[in-house]
Amino acid sequence: MLRTLKADLKIIFERDPAARNWLEVLFCYPGLQAIWLHRFAHWLHHLGLPFIPRLISHGSRFLTGIEIHPGATLGQGVFIDHGMGVVIGETAIVGDYSLIYQGVTLGGTGKDTGKRHPTLGENVVVGAGAKVLGNIQLGNNVRIGAGSVVLRDVPSECTVVGVPGRIVYREGAKVNPLDHGCLPDSEAQAIRYLMDRIEALEQEVQSLRQEKQDRGDVMPVGAHNWCRLEDKMIEQFLEGSEL
């Protein structure tokens, strides 16, 4: 237990550049306070003690804005950064050295009994406002983009973004877990691909029209306002979404 508590402290200095000294971290980091209160409540819950673990959880929620059910299992070195609005359900499992930002929900999807909350592997990063719902498995080193909604299993070494969450990055170079903002924009990429296809088709149609016109098969037609990537609104959307 002592080793776990030390790991909880050490990971904050490794991952938060704002952490300056032990006193500040102990008294001013609600994520650490919520995790330590949870570890005590979880121990009492494991002993089968009624009421008291939930009371501790409720008090922790009041003090920190972070709600962790006493039945949830947190590995060592878990870091809840800022943490306001974080909810972790009863049967959730969070692996060692995972990083959770504010507004995250590790919740269920109904009134099922038994294992009904997600299981996170080691070194998982869950971005601000993301929702991971149901009895699903997230592998090691998975990154969940901010605001994503994850409803299916995610293999290790993957990045997930969007609603519902889609895998946009598979095994490759290791990345810093703090670079959770450097995620690809899958929607903009898909729109750009479709626009490229539309532009190619329009060019082909124009070429066929010109051939028929040269043969005298059709009457000349006026200029068309073809849809192109150079169109201002489309270009602004694609470029803006990639910032």
Q: What is the pLDDT of residue 243?
A: 38
pTM for this prediction: 0.74
Residues 26 and 117 in one domain: yes
- Token readout for 158 is 């993957």
Distance CA 21, CA 38 (A): 23
Q: Is 10 a residue whose pLDDT tops 50? A: yes
The β-bridge partners of 107 are: 133
pLDDT for the residue 222: 52
pLDDT at 202: 84
The answer on pLDDT for 8 being more than 60 is yes
Mark whether 144 and 237 lie in a shared domain.
Answer: no
Is pLDDT of 227 > 80? no
| Segment 99-122 mean pLDDT | 90
What is the CB neighbour count within 10 angstroms for residue 149? 16
Residue 8 located in a structural domain: yes
Tokens of 121: 């592997």
Torsion of CA 149, 151, 155, 159, to 10 degrees: -10
Total of domains in the chain = 2
More confident residue, 61 or 174: 61
Encoded tokens for 134: 């149901």
State whether 36 and 126 are in the same domain: yes
Confidence of residue 203 (pLDDT cuts 50, 70, 90): confident
Same domain, 127 and 233: no
Residue 180 covered by a domain: no
CB within 8 Å of 231: residues ≥ 6 apart: none
| Strands, sheet with 143-144, edge to edge from the N-terminal-most edge strand | 79-80, 99-100, 125-126, 143-144, 159-161, 166-169
Residues 122 and 163 in one domain: yes
Does the pLDDT of residue 223 top 80, yes or no? no
Domain co-membership, 220 together with 116: no
Do 226 and 160 share a structural domain?
A: no
- Tens digits of residue pLDDT in 132-183: 999 999 999 999 988 999 999 999 988 888 888 888 765 555 555 555 556 6
Percent of the chain at pLDDT exceeding 90? 47
Residues 164 and 202 in one domain: no
The mean pLDDT value of the chain amounts to 83
Share above pLDDT 70 across residues of the chain, in percent, rounded to a whole number: 79
> pLDDT tier at 239 (50, 70, 90 boundaries)?
low
Q: For every residue of the chain, which 3-state class applies, written as one string?
A: CHHHHHHHHHHHHHHCCCCCCHHHHHHHCHHHHHHHHHHHHHHHHHCCCCCHHHHHHHHHHHHHCCEECCCCEECCCCEECCCCCCEECCCCEECCCCEECCCCEEECCCCCCCCCCCEECCCCEECCCCEEECCCEECCCCEECCCCEECCCECCCCEEECCCCEEEECCCCCCCCCCCCCCCCHHHHHHHHHHHHHHHHHHHHHHHHHHHHHHCCCCCCCCCCCCCCCCHHHHHHHHHHCC
Domain match, 209 and 154 both: no
Domain ranges, residue 201: 186-241
Whether residue 97 sits in one domain with residue 6? yes
**pLDDT in the model for residue 83:** 86
Verify that 208 and 122 share a domain, yes or no: no
Residues 6+ apart with CB under 8 A from 29: 12, 19
CATH code where residue 128 lies: 2.160.10.10
Tell me, what's the pLDDT at 110?
76
Contact call for residues 43 and 56 (beta carbons, < 8 A): no
pLDDT value of residue 89: 93
Highest mean pLDDT among 20-24, 49-53, 174-178: 49-53
- Region 67-91: mean pLDDT is 93
Q: Do 98 and 156 lie in a common domain?
A: yes
